[in-house]
C-alpha cells in the first residue's frame, strides 16, 4: 500500500475566493495546497473589467500567508455588453479567461448572458486573442428539469458555440454527468473540462436520502451514481482534457442552513486530500499528478510548477467551522476523518 505521494505542486483551475473579510479564510485555504488558481469573477457586483480584476487580485494577494507562493489568475465576467475593446484590454492585461454564466443558472449569475449569440463581438475577439472561454454549462430554458440542464446545454448551446468559433479555447467547468464526459472526449482538444472533488465523491443520494443536507448542495447539482463513476473514470483516465477545478464555493452557514439555501460547497481546506481519496478509490493514485498538476497548466499554456508537495496517509480532521466575515462557513467533511494529509 502506498503511504506517501510526491506530486508536482498542483493548481486549482476554478475557485471562488469571494471578497472583503472572507478573503482571510478563503485565500489561506487555497494557498495551502495550490500554487495558482483561476479566480471566478462572480462577485456582487461582478468583475467585468480588467482594472476591477487587477484591483481584486491586489486584495487577494494581501491575504496570502508569507510562507506561501500563490498566484491568483484573474477572469472577467462576460455580459451582453462586454465589448471587443474590453477583451483586448483583458488579453493585454494578463487576464486568464472570461466566464460565461447563463443568466440565473447559478450564484450571482443575474448579470450573465441570456443567449451567447448576443456576445458575438466579445467571443470573436477572444478567439482572435487566444483568451479561453470558461463556461457554467447549464441550460436556462424554462421548464428543463434541473437534473437535465447540463446535458441539454451540451447539445443546444455548446455544440453550436464550438462550431461558430472554430478556434476558441473553451473550458466546460465543473462537469457532473456521463453525458458531459462523453461530449468532452469526442470534442477537439481545444475543449477541456474541470472536475470537482465533491462530484468525484458524492452523488444525489448523499444530498437527498435520509435527510436533506444543505452542505452538499451545489450547482450543477450532484447527479446519479453512474455519473459519479463516469467522472471518476475520466479524471483518472490520464486524458489531458480533464483537470482539477475545485469549485470551492463558500457560503455563510446561515445562507446554507436556510429555507432557500445557497448553492456551493467549501472544499478548499482539504481539497487535495479529497481528490487523493477519490483517486485511491478508483485505484489510480498514479494518475493524480497529471490531473492535479500537469494538464490544467498545459491547457492554459502555462509552465508546470517547478516545486513538489507531499501527501501522507494519515487520519486527521478539519475544524467544525472557519470564520467568514460576521458568520462562519462549514467546510466539506468538517470534523470527520480524512485519510490523506498534505505535509508540506
Ligand X SMILES: NC(=O)N[C@@H](CC(=O)O)C(=O)O
Residue list, annotated binding site for Zn(2+): 14, 16, 99, 136, 174, 247
- Measured from the CB atom, the residue of 108 and 339 that comes closer to ligand X is 108
State the nearest-atom distance from the C-beta of 188 to ligand X, in Å: 25
Work out whether 42 is an interface residue with ligand X (CB under 6 A).
Answer: yes
The Cβ of residue 149 has, within 10 Å, a number of other Cβ atoms equal to 21
C-alpha cell at 215: 452542505
Closest to 194 measured CA to CA, from 221, 175, 220, 170: 175
Of these, 95, 113, 207, 249, which contacts ligand X (CB under 6 A)?
249
Residues known to be catalytic = 247
State the nearest-atom distance from the C-beta of 104 to Zn ion, in Å: 12
C-alpha cell at 238: 490520464
The Cβ of residue 256 has, within 10 Å, a number of other Cβ atoms equal to 22
Site map for ligand X, 144-183, x if CB under 6 A?
----------------------------------------
Biggest distance spanned by C-alpha atoms of the chain: 55
**For residue 62, with 0-12 CB atoms within 10 Å meaning exposed, 13-18 middle and 19 or more buried, which class applies?**
exposed
- Measured from the CB atom, the residue of 150 and 247 that comes closer to ligand X is 247
Closest to 39 measured CA to CA, from 21, 20, 53, 24: 53
Interface positions with Zn ion (CB under 5 A): 106, 136, 247
Closest to 14 measured CA to CA, from 246, 275, 271: 246
State the nearest-atom distance from the C-beta of 149 to Zn ion, in Å: 11
- Measured from the CB atom, the residue of 154 and 311 that comes closer to ligand X is 154
Using DSSP, state whether 143 is helix, strand or coil. coil
Cβ neighbours of residue 11 closer than 8 Å, sequence gap 6 or more: 34, 35, 36, 37, 244, 292, 293, 296, 297, 305
State the nearest-atom distance from the C-beta of 219 to ligand X, in Å: 4
Strand-pair partners of 334: 318
| Interface of this chain with ligand X, residues 256 to 285, rule: CB under 6 A | 263-264
Q: With CB under 6 A, what is the number of residues at the site for ligand X?
A: 12
| Interface of this chain with ligand X, residues 194 to 233, rule: CB under 6 A | 218-219
| Cis peptide bond upstream of 62, omega within 30 | no
| Interface of this chain with ligand X, residues 74 to 133, rule: CB under 6 A | 106-108
Question: For ligand X, which residue has the nearest CB?
Answer: 264
Contact residues for ligand X, defined by CB under 6 A: 16, 42, 106-108, 136, 218-219, 247, 249, 263-264
Amino acid at each position: 500500500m502506498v503511504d506517501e505521494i510526491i506530486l508536482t505542486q498542483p493548481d486549482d483551475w476554478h475557485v471562488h475566493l469571494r471578497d472583503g473579510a472572507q478573503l482571510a479564510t478563503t485565500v489561506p485555504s487555497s494557498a495551502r495546497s495550490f500554487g495558482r488558481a483561476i479566480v471566478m469573477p462572480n462577485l456582487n457586483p461582478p468583475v467585468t473589467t480588467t482594472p476591477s480584476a487587477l484591483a481584486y487580485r491586489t486584495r487577494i494577494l494581501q491575504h496570502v500567508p508569507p510562507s506561501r507562493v500563490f498566484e491568483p489568475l484573474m477572469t472577467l465576467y462576460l455580459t451582453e455588453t462586454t465589448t471587443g475593446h474590453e477583451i483586448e484590454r483583458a488579453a493585454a492585461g494578463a487576464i486568464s479567461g472570461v466566464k460565461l454564466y447563463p443568466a440565473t443558472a447559478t450564484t450571482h449569475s443575474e448579470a450573465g448572458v441570456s443567449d451567447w449569440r448576443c456576445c458575438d463581438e466579445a467571443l470573436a475577439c477572444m478567439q482572435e486573442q487566444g483568451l479561453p472561454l470558461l463556461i457554467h454549462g447549464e441550460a436556462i430554458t424554462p421548464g428543463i428539469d434541473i437534473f437535465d440542464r447540463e446535458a441539454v446545454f451540451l447539445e443546444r448551446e455548446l455544440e453550436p458555440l464550438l462550431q461558430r468559433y472554430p478556434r476558441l479555447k473553451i473550458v466546460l467547468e465543473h462537469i457532473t454527468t456521463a453525458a458531459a464526459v462523453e461530449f468532452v472526449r469526442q470534442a477537439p482538444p481545444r475543449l477541456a473540462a474541470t472536475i470537482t472533488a465533491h462530484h468525484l465523491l458524492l452523488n444525489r443520494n448523499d444530498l437527498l436520502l435520509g435527510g436533506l443536507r444543505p452542505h452538499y448542495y451545489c450547482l450543477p447539482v450532484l447527479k446519479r451514481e453512474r455519473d459519479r463513476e463516469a467522472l471518476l473514470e475520466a479524471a483518472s483516465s490520464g486524458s489531458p482534457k480533464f483537470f482539477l477545478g475545485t469549485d470551492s464555493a463558500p457560503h455563510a452557514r446561515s445562507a446554507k442552513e436556510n429555507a432557500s439555501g445557497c448553492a456551493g460547497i467549501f472544499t478548499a481546506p482539504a481539497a487535495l486530500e479529497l481528490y487523493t481519496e477519490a483517486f485511491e478509490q478508483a485505484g489510480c493514485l498514479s494518475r493524480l499528478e497529471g490531473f492535479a498538476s500537469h494538464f490544467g497548466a498545459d491547457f492554459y499554456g502555462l509552465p508546470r510548477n517547478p516545486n513538489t508537495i507531499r501527501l501522507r496517509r494519515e487520519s486527521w480532521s478539519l475544524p467544525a467551522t472557519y470564520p467568514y466575515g460576521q458568520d462562519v462557513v462549514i467546510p466539506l467533511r468538517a470534523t470527520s476523518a480524512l485519510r490523506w494529509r498534505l505535509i508540506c
